Homo-oligomer: A and B are copies of this chain.
């Protein structure tokens, strides 16, 4: 997920957030570590370029970014927070063995789901978005697409 510092700054400005080195570093970390990182992974990554950042700050910034919809929280069955910098609608492949989460995007699938739920409204529920949790195992060999 390639992104430049100035694009990151733009994103912050668009949301009316102040630009700080910590926020830039955290967003950059999430885009670089595109493996749906935990707060801890973000911290470890940033500490190299930015050794004085406090873990409290990381959590506060992450909260701010989620509130302002610059990133999203990922649902997991582990009790640690993980974050996603990809905002477009997409689904997740969960590997039960390795805790790896990968993205899966497909328009046909999304069309299928949209049509289905157009026909089959759910009583007393207003859908905001629908994501697939595709649970399984990543295979060791074979060529990556």
Contacts and interface: CB of A to CB of B under 8 A. Distances in A.
Given A74-B77, A133-B75, A138 B109 contact: no
A111 to B, nearest CB: 10
A83 to B, nearest CB: 10
Q: How many copies of this kind of chain does the complex include?
A: 2
Contacts of A144: 123-124
Contacts of A122: 93, 104, 134
Interface residues of A, number: 43
A81 interface: yes
A130 to B, nearest CB: 5
A60 interface: no
A89 to B, nearest CB: 11
A7 interface: no
A106 interface: yes
B96 A128 contact: yes
A125 B136 contact: yes
A51 B136 CA distance: 39
Interface in A107-143: 108-109, 112-113, 116, 120, 122-139, 142-143
A18 interface: no
Q: Closest 3 interchain pairs by CB?
A: A73-B77, A75-B75, A128-B136
